[in-house]
Structures are given as C-alpha cells and as structure tokens.
Structure 1
Amino acid sequence: MDKFPTSPFSLLSLVCATFGHDYVISRKVTDHVNEYTCVHCKKEVADNMQGSVEILTLKIRNANNALASFYEKKMQKIPA
C-alpha cells in the first residue's frame, strides 16, 4: 500500500502566513526567557540571546530545561 505524505498545509497556517502569528507565552523559563506558541498553527518559538525569537528545536528546549532548573535552584537560595 502506497501512502501519500500528509500535507502540512491547513487553513490556520494560511491565516498565519497572511496576517502573522499570534504568539502567547506557553512557558516562562526565567524572568527574561520565554517560550511561545502560536494560537492558530501551534508553531513554537523561544527567545534567543539577542532578544529575538527563533524556532524551538529540541536542542533549545533542552537548554531551556537546564536553564529553568538552574534558575529555580538559584531563586530558592535567595532570601525573600
């Protein structure tokens, strides 16, 4: 049985291509680093070191997990 690959095209991705993505914060890594998800097409991006956003890859997700862990430990040591 030959299966055709599924098309990544959807009506919502057309909306994003026309009007731009509508990102919301999906995860707050630190006070300055966030991960975002598009409400329409579910594209995930994250802040980078220059302050702009880039596509959230596995490598960046792992780095953000390590950064979040380090940040949580640091904040526990600071007296309130």
Structure 2
Amino acid sequence: MALVCSVLGHHYVVTATITQHIHEYKCTCCGKEVTDTDKGFLTELTSKQREINKILYSYVQRRSNRITNKLSA
C-alpha cells in the first residue's frame, strides 16, 4: 500500500477537527497520520503533536462554552 502512496500520493481524510483551521488527517491507503501546523502545512502526527492538539481542542471548547453561556444569560 505504501507503494501506491509513493507513486500517486496520499489520500487523506479528516479524522478529527481541532479548530476551524486545524485538523487531523489519516491516509486511507497506508494509514499515515498528519496534522496541520500553525503555518498551514501538514506535519507528521507525533505523540507530542497529538497532545498539543488535545490541549488546544479542550481550550477552544471551554472558551466556546463560556461565550455561549454569556450570550444566553
């Protein structure tokens, strides 16, 4: 399967949405996982990057909930 990706390129699908601009992707052929960087490029999804995305996701969720609660009050 990796041969297909090396010849034709990866076919990524979104596996997680962290923010509006940052997503996690996985190749349907070889299983390679990547994520967006702060500059808009794709980088390999390491355990460190996965932890950063997890913290960023929880921060965005808390902020969104706080704004929603202020608007509804």
Q: Same fold (TM over 0.5)?
A: yes
> Aligned residues, how many?
69
Corresponding letter in the other structure for 1:67: L
Per the alignment, residue 53 of structure 1 pairs with 42
What CA deviation, in whole Å up to 9, does each residue of 1:3-59 have, x standing for no partner?
A: xxxxxxxxx111000000000100001111100000100100000011000000011
TM-score, normalised by the number of residues in structure 2: 0.90
Per the alignment, residue 34 of structure 1 pairs with 23
**Counterparts of 2:2 and 2:46, CA distance in 1:** 19
* Runs of 5+ unmatched residues, structure 2: none
**Counterparts of 1:78 and 1:24, CA distance in 2:** 30
Displacement after TM superposition at 1:78 (Å): 1.5
* Runs of 5+ unmatched residues, structure 1: 1-11
Per the alignment, residue 67 of structure 1 pairs with 56
Identity of aligned residues (%): 38
TM-score, normalised by the number of residues in structure 1: 0.83
